[in-house]
Structure 1
Amino acid sequence: MRIATSKGQDAMSGLARTVRRVFGAGLPLVSALLLGQAAEAQTFASLPAAPSAIVAGGEARPIAAWSEFCQTYAAECAIDVTEPAVIAITPAVWNTIVSVNRRVNKSLRAVTDLDHWAVPDRWDLAEDGAGDCEDYQLLKRKLLAAAGLPRRAMRMTVVIDEKGEGHAVLTLVTDRGDIILDNKTSTVLPWRQTGYTFIKRESQSSVAWVSLGRAASPVTTANR
């Protein structure tokens, strides 16, 4: 068993290894994020002309494993209310989002928490190169924040997936609507095109969660 400080130090070294695995050894982080943006990138014009945002409601019960994660990785959960609450999407920002989503999805090995850690649920930054849905999304947020996107506009989100099971995705609140990063697909989708039922997500104003009123998107996700 490691104390929080030791675990945090181990996490940083583990994250560095993960970044090298995702983007290549010897590359500065931001430069690595920009590498290959033109290749494989979704077209910026693919975003819907009429943006749609998920309506947040009142407070919701936090995920227990998220609370434990925040004790170890406090900076990943902190809210800076001076940060923008919305990401301004430009072609360059869009390409960075698409690139990070694809590269993290390809670089990590999918494994359940029971198989990985012998516990039902654990959230971390996939320092050993493996994880389940929330670990993919947390690493994506870490890398996107390092590239300059406001963490406050990137919210961990709980949904019910196409199998009727709980699943974690990353919601990016943007001026082109709420878009979803998912480890099940490397296509970045507007939330209404995922086919998921949205349950709750991290608050943008405090270290807490808010209800999403079970907002259901009508279209089944493509390119899984």
Structure 2
Amino acid sequence: MKNKSILISGLVALIASAGAVAPASGQDGRLELAYAEVSADVTSIPIGHMEFCQKRPYECQPLAATAPTALNDDLWRQLQDVNNHYNTTITAVSDYDLYGTEEFWTYPTSGYGDCEDFVLAKRAALIEGGWNPANLLISVVKQPDGEGHAVLMVRTDRGDLVLDNQEGLIKLWTDTPYTYLKRQSQAHSGQWVDIVDGRDEIVTATAGY
């Protein structure tokens, strides 16, 4: 019962957080913050993912349009379990140390992998668990120190949530320290779109500056 209470409390806190950035007024710019805005046109695909798709074309196919996943206690628990499992059983190691190359996207091997490998494993586990792949989007971000990184952005009715191998908590994308650059297209898992990360502009506008 204690673990269930913790899970439910976490979900309630997340819902409250989502509500805080999504006020009732549809004209308020903050309403858009729960979901990352993306470009209408496709953009360049990361070289590592392009090579991954060439080897596994069945994983990079057109996707049917779908609504964000309706989050409930069971799905929230599933997200946490998948995130925790890979964060605690996989050791982060660079592609160069593992494979002698700068970029090589694959599933974690023998308990080791870099950030993209974590994301691929989490995405596959959630798809196997019944999640729609159109709501499980590999995303490329820039860390505060300027280094590149990859996370899994999960589209839910509570906003875009982020599963990150560098963070144990699942957070709204707006609550992470990253600058968002691009992600998989919801229409095609082998295509990518730019993320229009306008959080600073929206906050400035609503503050009246």
Q: Same fold (TM over 0.5)?
A: yes
Partner residue, 2:111: 129
1:46 paired with 2:13, answer yes
Partner residue, 2:178: 196
1:62 paired with 2:29, answer no
Q: Which has the higher helix share?
A: 2
TM-score (norm 1): 0.75
* C-alpha displacement of 1:215: 3.9
Identity of aligned residues (%): 31
1:170 paired with 2:152, answer yes
Superposition RMSD on alpha carbons, in Å? 2.1
Q: Is the 8 Å Cα contact of residues 179 and 197 (structure 2) preserved in structure 1?
A: yes
Q: Which one-letter code corresponds to 1:95 in the other structure? A: R
Query: How many residues were matched structurally?
Result: 182
CA distance in 2, matches of 1:45, 1:195: 22
Q: Is the 8 Å Cα contact of residues 178 and 191 (structure 1) preserved in structure 2?
A: yes
Correspondence list, 1:32-181, <5 A: 38=4, 41=7, 43-47=10-14, 48-49=18-19, 50-51=21-22, 52-57=34-39, 58-81=41-64, 84-181=66-163
CA distance in 2, matches of 1:216, 1:123: 29
Instruction: Name stretches of at least 5 consecutive residues in structure 2 with no aligned partner.
Output: 23-33, 202-209
Q: Is the 8 Å Cα contact of residues 84 and 168 (structure 2) preserved in structure 1?
A: yes
Q: Is the 8 Å Cα contact of residues 191 and 217 (structure 1) preserved in structure 2?
A: no
* C-alpha displacement of 1:71: 1.5
4+ residue runs over 2 A deviation: 37-42, 73-80, 213-218
Q: Kindly provide the CA deviation profile for residues 19-52 of structure 1, in whole angstroms up to 9, marking residues without a partner as x.
A: xxxxxxxxxxxxxxxxxx7497471112122451
TM-score (norm 2): 0.80
Structure 1 SS opposite 2:131: coil
CA distance in 2, matches of 1:195, 1:54: 14
Structure 2 SS opposite 1:186: strand
